[in-house]
Amino acid sequence: MREEGPKRTSAIPTETTSAEGAEEPLSQRVREAYREEVDHTHESLLNAAIAFTFTFATLRGLTYSIKYDLVPWGNIVAGGVHLHHYVWGVMLLLVVGMVSLIVDSPRYNPVLGIVYGIATALVVDEFALLLNLRDVYWTNEGRISIDVALTTIAVALVYFLAKAFWRRLGRELLRSLRRHVAKRRA
């Protein structure tokens, strides 16, 4: 777990200044807020959620492109059998699970979180196929995969939006906006 930073005594952001007395830029304050507010566990979960969302969107775009011949390649086939991407997801989940059992160091958790998010998206994107035991990706029955993925993204989003980092980020952005408005008025 990361060392805890200084505790705030007020909900109103205090002045953050450098050694020369100039205010630190917003990007630096955001990085500082992230370091202080997000521990290794939550960083891993955040990485998994971001990787899941990005991978799911990419998969949907890629499968659409393959279906409508928008890319010069097609489905992956071995021995005349189409290898669905959930197969790669299951394999990655097995690897992540094994590595997390073997490696006992929180410093690897953020990377494992990314791989876990990618693997989970590969499986969830074809949830309807696994549920129906037939390829229903482009049918109405296939919609359940999208529903499960969007629910997963929404739950992760709600969870992370409640964290102290996001509250502090909002305060920092508001403070910067107020300073910008005050400078324009002056």
Is residue 64 domain-resident?
A: yes
d(CA 116, CA 180) in angstroms, rounded, equals 41
Is residue 108 domain-resident?
A: yes
Is residue 93 domain-resident?
A: yes
pLDDT at position 37 is 80
Total domain count, the chain: 1
The one-letter amino acid at 28: Q
Is residue 59 domain-resident?
A: yes
pLDDT at position 4 is 42
DSSP three-state, residue 124: helix
> How far, in Å, are 20, 21, 90, 151, 173 from residue 17 at the CA level?
8, 5, 49, 41, 16
Tokens standing for residue 117: 């998010």
d(CA 103, CA 101) in angstroms, rounded, equals 6
Is residue 94 domain-resident?
A: yes
Is residue 22 domain-resident?
A: no
The one-letter amino acid at 54: F
pLDDT at position 137 is 94
Residues spanned by the domain of 55: 39-185
Is residue 148 domain-resident?
A: yes
Using CB atoms within 10 Å of the CB of residue 172, give its burial: 0 to 12 exposed, 13 to 18 middle, 19+ buried.
Answer: middle
The list of the chain residues with pLDDT below 70 reads: 1-21, 161-164
Is residue 53 domain-resident?
A: yes
